[in-house]
Structure 1
Amino acid sequence: MAIHKLACIEPGAQIDENVEVGPFAVIGPNVKIAAGCSIAAHATVTGHTEMGPDNRVFAHAVIGGEPQDKKYKGEPTRLTIGRGNTFRECVTVNTGTIQDGGITTVGDNNWIMAYVHIAHDCHVGSNTIMANGTQLAGHVHVGDFAILGGLTGVHQFVKIGAHSMTGAGTVLLQDLPPYVMSQGYPASPHGLNSEGLKRRGFSAESISLLKRAYRLLYRDGLTFEVAKTEIAKLFEGAAEEPASRLRVFSDFLDAVSRGVIR
C-alpha cells in the first residue's frame, strides 16, 4: 500500500493494499476504496463512501461530503462509485439524503473535470464527460454517454438522457431527451447528436429513425402529447436495432418529470 506518511487515514477506513494515497490526503472512517485507486495530495474521501477499482481522485477534490441540504441532520447517507472514473481538481460529490433514496451514485468510466459539483441524490450513469465547472443540483439523473459542456448548470430533479450533449454555459431547467444537443440559457434543442451516435456504432437506419422522432418532437409544431403519439407509430416496421434505440427516446418522454426543453 503506497500511502504517504503525511496522509491521514482515519481508523475504520477499508483500503485495498493496491491503493496510492498522497501527502495530506484525508480518508474518513466509513470509506471503502478498492484496488487500483489513487487519491492525490490534499484530496478528501469522506462520508459513507464506497469506491470501486481504478478510480483517480485529484488534488483538493472532496468525495463523499455532506449534502448541501438544510434538512440534512447527519444521517448515514451514502455515495457509491463504480470503476475507472476520473475526478479532477476540486470536484465535489455529495452523499444522498433520506428525503430521496439516501444515496448518490456514479457509474463507470466517467471523465469529471475540474470544479464539477455533483449534489446529493444525483445518479450519474457511465461513460459521461462533464467539462470544467459543470454544476448538478440535487436529484439530477445523467444517462450513459452524456456530454456536458463547461459551466453547464442543471436544475434540481432534471433528467439528462443518454448520448445527449450540451454546449458551454448551458442552463438546463427541464429534461433533456436522449440523443439531443442543446445550448443556451434556458437550454433549447439544437439537433440530434448524429456525429456522436456514429462514433458509438449506431447504424444509419437508427440515426435516420431518431431524426424522424426529433422532427416530430421539435420541428412539426406538434404538442408534446401528440408528438409522443406520432413517435410511437415509428415502431411499426422498424428493425430490431433501430427500434431499440427509439425505445430509449420514447421511454424517456413517457417518464419526464419537469417537461422537456422545447
Structure 2
Amino acid sequence: MTIHPSAIVDPSAEIAADVVIGPWCTVGPGVSLAPGVHLVSHVVVQQDTRIGDRTVIHPFAVIGGDPQHNGYRGEPVRLEIGHDNSIREHCTFNRGTPQGSGVTRVGSHGLFMTGAHVGHDAVVGDNVVMANQATLGGHARIGDRVFLGGLCAVHQNGRVGQGAIVGGLAAVTRDVIPYGSAWGNHARLHGLNLIGLKRKGYGKDAVRRLLAAFRDLFEGAGVFADRLDRVEADYADLPEIMEIVAFIRADARRPLCLPGE
C-alpha cells in the first residue's frame, strides 16, 4: 500500500495492500478500494463507495458524492464501481437515493472521459465509453458496450440499450434501442450502430439481416404494435432483434427514440 503523506484516509476505509493513493486525495468512511486501485492525485472518494480491482481515477474526480436530489436527507446509500475502469479528470459519480434503489452501479472495463457524470441510482453496464462531459440523469440505465458522445445527456429514467451509440451534443429524452445509432437535439434514431456491430465481428450477411429487421420494424406498413409482433415472429432466430423487441416491451411507459421525428 502506498499512501502519500498529504492524503487523508478515514480509519474505516478498507484499502487493499497494493492500492496507490496519490497526493491530496481524500478517502472517506465506508469506502472500499480493491487490489490495484490507483487514485492518481486530488481525488475525492466521499463515502460508502466500493471501487473494483485495477480501476484508475484521475485528478479532481469526485466519486461517491451525495445524490443531487432535493429529497436526500443523509440516509445511507451507496455507489458500486466494477473493475478495470479508467475514470478521467473531473468526473462525478453520485451515490443512490432512498427514493430509488439506494445504489448507483457502474460496471467494468469502462472509459469515462473528462467531466462525465453518472447521476444517482443510475445503472451502467460493462465496456461503456462516456466521452467528455457526457451526462446521465438519475435512474438512467445504460447497457453494455454503449458509446455516449461528448456533451450528450440522457434524461432521468432514460434507457440506452446495449451496443448503441449516441452522438455528441444529443439530448436523449426517449429510449434508444439496443444496437441503435441516435444523434441530434433532441436525439433521433438514424439506424443501427454499424461501426459497433462490425467491431464486434458481425459479417455482412448478419448485418444485412439486422438492417432488414430494423426496416420492417420502423419503416414497414401498419401500426407500430403490429410491426413489432411481426418482427418478433419473423426474426425469432436473431438474438439481437429479440433483445430489441424485449427492450421495447420492457417499459411501455417510456417514449421510444424513433427515426424521422
TM-score (structure 1 length as normaliser): 0.94
Percent pairwise identity: 36
Equivalent of 2:255, from 229, 242, 259? 259
Q: Does 1:107 align with 2:102?
A: no
Q: Distance in 1 between matches of 2:191 and 2:161?
A: 14
TM alignment of 1:1-262, pairs within 5 A: 1-220=1-220, 222-236=222-236, 238=237, 243-256=238-251, 257-262=253-258
Secondary structure of the 2:191 match is strand
Cα distance between partner residues in 2 of 1:18 and 1:224: 55
**Aligned residue pairs, count:** 257
Task: Indicate the RMSD between aligned Cα atoms, in angstroms.
Answer: 1.3
1:222 Cα deviation from its structure 2 partner: 4.4
Contact 1:18 1:35 in 2 (8 A): yes
Q: Does the 8 A contact of 2:46 with 2:62 survive in 1? A: yes
Higher mean C-alpha deviation, range 249-258 or range 177-186: 249-258
- 1:206–1:245 contact (8 Å) kept in structure 2: no
Q: Secondary structure at 2:64's aligned position in 1?
A: strand
| 147-156 vs 246-255, greater mean Cα deviation | 246-255
Q: What is the alpha-carbon distance in structure 1 between the residues aligned to residue 248 and residue 144 of structure 2? A: 16
Residue by residue over 1:157-197, the C-alpha shift from the partner in whole angstroms, topping out at 9 and shown as x without a partner, is 01000010011100100100011101111111111112211
Contact 2:27 2:47 in 1 (8 A): no
SS in 1 for 2:163: coil
Residue-by-residue CA offset, 1:84-116 (whole Å, 9 max, x unaligned): 011100000000011111100001100000011
Q: Distance in 2 between matches of 1:47 and 1:78?
A: 8
Instruction: Give the whole-Å Cα distance in 2 for the aligned partners of 1:54 and 1:39.
Output: 10
Structure 2 unpaired stretches of 5+: none
Distance 2:89 2:196 in 1: 27
